[in-house]
Amino acid sequence: MRIIIDIRKSPLLLYEVTDEILKMNIKCILDKDEVYGYLKKSHYLEILLDKTLCVYGEQMIEHYQTYLTDGSWVWSSDINHYFFNHNFALPKDFLEYIRTLNYIPKSYNESYDDFILDKIYDSRYRLNVDIMKRKKLTF
């Protein structure tokens, strides 16, 4: 499952991003390069050593079960590709958060990884969707 999760909230706020959503929710933004720079500076939380085909069929990209984090949000790593190359519209509250930090991620300590993983997983490799509030992407 491709995800974007706001882990600052309780319950956790989960956005499920399907292939259809990737293709439908397109929006150009003026600060695209700055937002992408922020996304690229994020930390790998969990890595699946596999690639997947872009839903547009053009190239192999990082698998959506590889997760990135900035310590406040967790997202599937292929979101970076769709945002930059196909103008996928990130959730408004995620964009607002990035902008409030002036596109500079807070310092991140890797010891925080286990805390985040425990927070989002029911048991290893299964998202605990029971403690997450699901929200449709609206743009």
pLDDT, one tens digit per residue, over 41-98 is: 999 999 999 999 999 988 999 999 999 999 999 999 999 999 999 999 999 999 999 9
The dihedral region occupied by 9, where left means phi > 0, alpha psi between -120 and 50, and beta the remainder, is beta
Burial 5-21 (b: 16+ CB within 10 A, else e): bbbeeeebbbbbbeeeb
Q: Is 4 helix (H, G, I), strand (E, B) or coil?
A: strand
pLDDT per position as a tens digit, 6-32: 999 888 888 999 999 999 988 999 999
pLDDT exceeds cutoff 50 at 139: no
